């Protein structure tokens, strides 16, 4: 490859070592040197458009290496409008975000998106324009600068599988321009769409059945995997890939640090397949990884791969040829809620065994709740060993977590109930699923305390895991479900709005009063967060293992890093339990400060222990000398 004379040294130095691979991959898909040349020029232009400050930021991050792997990272995910009305409003609340210890801020989609046909902002009509009600691109760039000054990194969605039907490309396609129809999947009649439907599952079987939509303006059928107004982009067309990469780098150049690759498994379609996770997707993500590391190396790619466990990990790529820097730990999340409902930790234990066995370089983004539903993508082959059958089990989980099972105080709602497959998913906030909503309604203090105990235990489990813990806005103060969406004609069909309610700043104020439920929860969560930040043993480089507790209600995890050791025990049942462990040495409980043996440890209902030991303590070196 000949480097172009106008390219500067920094750009060429970054490009040279990876160009051969990138060219190879690009040609594997497109075999089009003209398009590749355009792609390289686009990379150079994006690199040049990057501000001086951001370039300095890049160099700092390259030097710092794995800056995002520190155990001090803690995230919050929020909707701009729910949290503070506008982007400027979010900026005004940065003190709050810092008070909670968050240094990673995921702003839910905020680019222009048609009202009522936006899927919560996931139908973008202009990738260069902020939704006017939320502010401007300049506001976003300003917020990003303000965040950087405070050491906060910003994550933004890049909705790359589809555009809104109002995007200029879609409008021109509707008007009959072939060039733009070729950016999507257009068909003259239903023959091929019907053939696709035979092998392609449905994402929204109830709210948006089918994968195709009739487009009367063009008199054709168009592919719409998600909602009918979200038109799938055709990445077989190199122009689509080039232009979308340019859009991504444009967002990086506004100071966005983490690009969330929305619905990335879906971006390549082939007739006769399920159109998910096809090998070409990995090629595209690898090229995007390389491209971003050349033009904006301070940015990271976070893959939204909400798939069964064996489909997720390949998106990390290999250590030498990485794809995504980070992935959602969706299986651990779903297995956690499974365990809340079953109080049987064996599935979660198995999942943690898998996670502990992965290379430490693989960074997960861990979470309890996010803006989406909880899908029951569990390891059913494993559950089958206990005679547990998929449909019946999902039914049980959904009954329990919607409060329709004896003894359950959970208050969730079903999502996309598909009676044919018995495949409903679930919505609700953490606090409502833990029983806080029922306790408040019943004015039952005993239940309230129990629900907060469960909420805190789940967060302790979240914070024990390697990776970046990301809380969903409101969870830090026990935000409850918001039923007002039932009255909103634009939202009522999508129960995910149950947990997308407005953040109530008056209730959040109560966090300062420890006699309120908000205060009780907040104080305990802040303590956990402070402990995590203080101890390097929560670092992603730590050794981790599953600790056998010989009690199916108690999950045990171990961590070790540079002389520090932690034994973490989580009681998922509402009864007293004993963790039948028998470890040497004396430990300190990081929460209560008490000294105790790690032998037959008693745990109250939904409680946990963080038992800590530091071999760097002089008492250990003394012992060694004596020996």
User: Which residues here bind ligand GLC, judged by CB under 6 A?
Assistant: 119-120, 122, 159, 226, 262-263, 304, 371-372
Between 304 and 564, whose beta carbon lies closer to ligand GLC? 304
Q: Is 262 a catalytic residue?
A: yes
Q: Report the nearest approach of ligand GLC to the CB of residue 105 (Å).
A: 17
Catalytic residue, candidates 112, 139, 262, 539:
262
Rounded Cα–Cα distance for residues 374 and 389 (Å)? 19
Contacts of 568 (CB under 8 A, 6+ apart): 460, 461, 464, 547, 556, 557, 558, 559, 608, 609, 610, 611
Structure tokens at 77: 């995910």
Between 265 and 478, whose beta carbon lies closer to ligand GLC? 265
Q: Report the nearest approach of ligand GLC to the CB of residue 582 (Å).
A: 44
Q: Report the nearest approach of ligand GLC to the CB of residue 395 (Å).
A: 24
Q: Report the nearest approach of ligand GLC to the CB of residue 120 (Å).
A: 6
Dihedral (CA of 449, 451, 457, 462) sign = negative
Q: Is 304 a catalytic residue?
A: yes
**Helices 346-356, 330-342: crossing angle, 10 deg rounding:** 160
Asked if residue 106 lies in contact with residue 470, where contact means CB atoms within 8 angstroms, the answer is yes
Using CB positions, name the residue nearest to ligand GLC.
Answer: 122
Q: Taking Cα atoms as reference points, which of 488, 433, 371 lies closest to residue 106?
A: 371
Between 295 and 306, whose beta carbon lies closer to ligand GLC? 306
Between 114 and 536, whose beta carbon lies closer to ligand GLC? 114
User: Is residue 44 classed as helix, strand or coil in its secondary structure?
Assistant: helix
Q: Report the nearest approach of ligand GLC to the CB of residue 184 (Å).
A: 15
Q: Report the nearest approach of ligand GLC to the CB of residue 373 (Å).
A: 9
Between 281 and 528, whose beta carbon lies closer to ligand GLC? 281
Residues in the chain, total: 627
The pair phi, psi for residue 471, each rounded to 5°, is -90, 150
Between 97 and 159, whose beta carbon lies closer to ligand GLC? 159
Contacts of 355 (CB under 8 A, 6+ apart): 329, 332, 364, 465, 466, 544
Between 241 and 266, whose beta carbon lies closer to ligand GLC? 266
Q: Report the nearest approach of ligand GLC to the CB of residue 565 (Å).
A: 37
Catalytic residue, candidates 157, 304, 423, 564:
304
Rounded Cα–Cα distance for residues 323 and 301 (Å)? 8
Rounded Cα–Cα distance for residues 409 and 552 (Å)? 22
DSSP class per residue in 279-334: HHHHHHHHHHHHHHHHH-TT-EEEE---S-HHHHGGGGB-SSSBS-SEEE-HHHHH
DSSP class per residue in 397-448: HHHHHTT-STT-----EEES--TTTT--EEE--HHHHHTHHHHHHHT-HHHH
Residues with catalytic function:
262, 304
């Amino acid at each position: 490859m000949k480097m172009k004379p106008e390219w500067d040294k920094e750009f060429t130095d970054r490009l040279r070592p990876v160009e051969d691979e990138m060219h190879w991959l690009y040609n594997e898909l497109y075999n089009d040197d003209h398009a590749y040349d355009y792609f390289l020029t686009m990379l150079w232009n994006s690199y040049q458009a990057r501000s001086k400050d951001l370039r300095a930021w890049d160099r700092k991050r390259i030097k710092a290496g794995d800056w995002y792997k520190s155990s001090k990272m803690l995230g919050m995910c929020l909707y701009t409008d729910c949290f503070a009305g506008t982007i400027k409003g979010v900026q005004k609340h940065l003190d709050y975000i810092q008070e909670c210890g968050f240094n990673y801020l995921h702003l839910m989609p905020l680019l222009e998106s048609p009202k009522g046909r936006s899927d919560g902002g996931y139908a973008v009509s202009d990738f260069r324009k902020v939704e006017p009600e939320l502010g401007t691109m300049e506001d976003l760039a300003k917020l990003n600068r303000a965040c950087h000054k405070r050491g906060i990194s910003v994550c933004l969605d890049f909705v790359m599988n589809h555009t809104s039907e109002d995007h200029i490309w879609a409008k021109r396609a509707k008007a009959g321009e072939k060039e733009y129809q070729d950016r999507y999947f257009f068909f003259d009649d239903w023959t091929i769409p019907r053939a696709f439907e035979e092998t392609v599952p449905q994402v929204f079987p109830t709210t948006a059945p089918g994968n195709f939509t009739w487009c009367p303006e063009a008199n054709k059928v168009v592919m719409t995997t998600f909602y009918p107004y979200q038109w799938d982009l055709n990445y077989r067309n190199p122009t689509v890939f080039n232009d979308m990469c340019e859009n991504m780098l444009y967002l990086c150049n506004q100071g966005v640090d983490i690009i969330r690759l929305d619905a990335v498994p879906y971006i390549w379609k082939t007739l006769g397949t399920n159109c998910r996770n096809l090998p070409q997707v990995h090629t595209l993500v690898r090229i995007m990884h390389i491209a971003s590391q050349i033009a904006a190396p301070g940015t990271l790619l976070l893959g939204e791969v909400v798939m069964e466990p064996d489909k997720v990990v390949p998106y990390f790529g290999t250590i030498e040829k990485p794809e995504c820097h980070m992935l959602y730990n969706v299986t651990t999340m779903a297995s956690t809620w499974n365990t809340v409902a079953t109080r049987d930790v064996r599935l979660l234990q198995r999942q943690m065994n898998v996670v502990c066995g992965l290379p430490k370089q693989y960074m997960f983004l861990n979470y309890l709740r996010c803006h989406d539903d909880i899908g029951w993508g569990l390891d059913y082959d494993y559950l089958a060993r206990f005679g547990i059958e998929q449909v019946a089990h999902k039914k049980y989980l959904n009954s329990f977590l919607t409060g329709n099972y004896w003894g359950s105080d959970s208050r969730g709602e079903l999502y996309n109930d598909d009676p044919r497959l018995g495949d409903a998913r679930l919505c609700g906030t953490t606090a409502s699923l833990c029983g806080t909503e029922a306790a408040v309604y019943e004015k039952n203090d005993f239940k309230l305390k129990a629900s907060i105990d469960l909420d805190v235990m789940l967060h302790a489990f979240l914070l024990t895991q390697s990776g970046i813990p990301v809380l969903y806005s409101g969870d830090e103060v026990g935000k409850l479900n918001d039923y007002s969406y039932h009255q909103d004609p634009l939202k009522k069909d999508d129960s995910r709005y149950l947990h997308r309610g407005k953040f109530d700043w008056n209730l959040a104020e109560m966090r300062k009063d420890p006699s309120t439920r908000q205060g009780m929860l907040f104080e305990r969560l802040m303590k956990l967060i402070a402990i995590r930040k203080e101890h390097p043993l929560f670092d992603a480089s730590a050794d981790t293992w599953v600790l056998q507790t010989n009690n199916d209600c108690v999950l045990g995890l171990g961590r070790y890093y540079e002389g520090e050791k932690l034994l973490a025990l989580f009681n998922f049942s509402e009864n007293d339990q004993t963790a039948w462990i028998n470890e040497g040495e004396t430990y300190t409980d990081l929460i209560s400060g008490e000294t105790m043996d790690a032998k037959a440890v008693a745990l109250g209902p939904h409680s946990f222990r963080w038992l800590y030991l530091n071999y760097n303590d002089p008492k250990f070196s003394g012992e060694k000398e004596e020996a």
